[in-house]
Amino acid sequence: MTTVLMAVMLVSVLLLAAFGGPWLLRQAAPALATVPRLAATTLAATALIWIAALLALGPVVAWVSRGPAWLPAEAAEVCSRCLAAATPFSESLVSVAIPAVLPLVLPLLGFGVAAAGLWREFSQLRQTRHRLTHQLRESHEATVLGHRVSIMSDDSCFAYSLPRRAGGIVLSRGAVASLSPAELAAVLQHEEAHLRQRHHLLLALLGGVTHYFRRVPLIQAVRDAVPHYLEIAADQSAKRVTGTAVLAGALLKLGTSAGIAGDAHARSAVLHAAGSERVRLLIGAPRPPASTALAVAAGAYTVMLLTAIVSVNTPYLLAVVAGC
């Protein structure tokens, strides 16, 4: 395999994943929903791996770069030696007339962009949680069925969770009044699972690292899907304690009174026209037979991307370790 062929293959794999990935994820959703925690973690990892594979294009292009040397002579000499030591192929017949240092900057730029996204996400989350904590001043803390919760003096029905440090489980007075004790237990178990399994942290990391890559269809599909799988994971935890019918009853009561609205609802309705996987799984709706195979295919694709990254970066790593 030549360097050019490797670059072409990497670009093809990336494009296929970027544009075909959302379809694959939709088809595989019924199977992925049966292992929601694994699905959420793997999908988040897939998004990160895709970005890493994109950045790996830089070192590949650097192998065929024959442009003017921009670095001082000594630094350029070291750089060339490292590139030559890292190249797993013989001399390429094709060359690109750009300085090799340019594509090598791509991974650094990518790390910078991901770090900027993380910084942005966490600073905005800090502000948001500060404001939400301000809202919670109008609430009072109570122990409900063994869980510490904040109860907001509000007759509308809602329940949500913030990270434990930011307030934990929040219920409205209306939700407490309208749910039966068993349904309340289901809601509390669900929210407790979010906290125990650190779902807020996973979403913050995913949201941060992928923020500046969110226009890529695959990344957007993962960002949309992961919260859904985390809800299913929390449902599974609640279902084990309270049973399916009780959890379904609580969802129906709070879902009906919440008056789900807005863009998120419209987008979600388009994606889940036959009902979301969360509810289909809860009520035991049969899943399409092909979805397991497609979930395996999605997993295989992720492994392929991972292999591409490793095969590009390992020679560099070995070259640097060996002192070029």
Q: For another protein, give the closer residue by CB, 85 or 202.
A: 202
The 10 Å CB-count burial string (b at 16+, else e) for 207-218 is: bbbbbbbeebeb
Give CA–CA dist 140/157, Å, rounded.
16
Q: What are the residues whose beta carbons fall under 8 Å from the beta carbon of 44, sequence distance 6 or more? A: 202, 205, 206, 222, 226
- In sign, the C-alpha dihedral spanning 172, 173, 178, 184 is positive
For residue 34, the minimal CB distance to another protein (Å) is 17
- Identify any residues that bridge with 152 across adjacent strands, giving them in sequence order: 139, 172
For residue 194, the minimal CB distance to another protein (Å) is 5
Residue found under tokens 């049966």: 34
Q: For another protein, give the closer residue by CB, 280 or 324.
A: 280
Give which of 194, 189, 200 is closest to 144, Cα–Cα: 189
Q: For another protein, give the closer residue by CB, 14 or 234.
A: 234
Q: For another protein, give the closer residue by CB, 11 or 118.
A: 118
* Token duo for residue 100: 């090799």
* Token duo for residue 89: 């192929």
Backbone angles phi, psi at 61, to 5 degrees: -65, -35
Q: What are the residues whose beta carbons fall under 8 Å from the beta carbon of 143, sequence distance 6 or more? A: 149
Q: For another protein, give the closer residue by CB, 174 or 299.
A: 174
Q: For another protein, give the closer residue by CB, 8 or 252.
A: 252
Q: For another protein, give the closer residue by CB, 279 or 319.
A: 279
Q: For another protein, give the closer residue by CB, 62 or 203.
A: 203
Give CA–CA dist 317/306, Å, rounded.
16
Q: For another protein, give the closer residue by CB, 260 or 310.
A: 260
For residue 258, the minimal CB distance to another protein (Å) is 5
* Token duo for residue 111: 């790390």
Q: What are the residues whose beta carbons fall under 8 Å from the beta carbon of 152, sequence distance 6 or more? A: 135, 136, 138, 139, 170, 171, 172, 173
List residues binding another protein (CB under 8 A).
120-121, 124-125, 127-129, 131-132, 134-135, 152, 154-156, 158-162, 172, 174, 183, 187, 190-191, 194, 199-200, 203-204, 206-207, 211, 223, 227-228, 230-231, 234, 245-246, 248-256, 258, 260, 264-265, 268-269, 272-276, 278-280, 282-283, 285
Give CA–CA dist 75/93, Å, rounded.
25
Which residue spans within the chain are E strands per DSSP? Answer: 139-144, 147-152, 159-161, 169-172
Give CA–CA dist 153/160, Å, rounded.
15
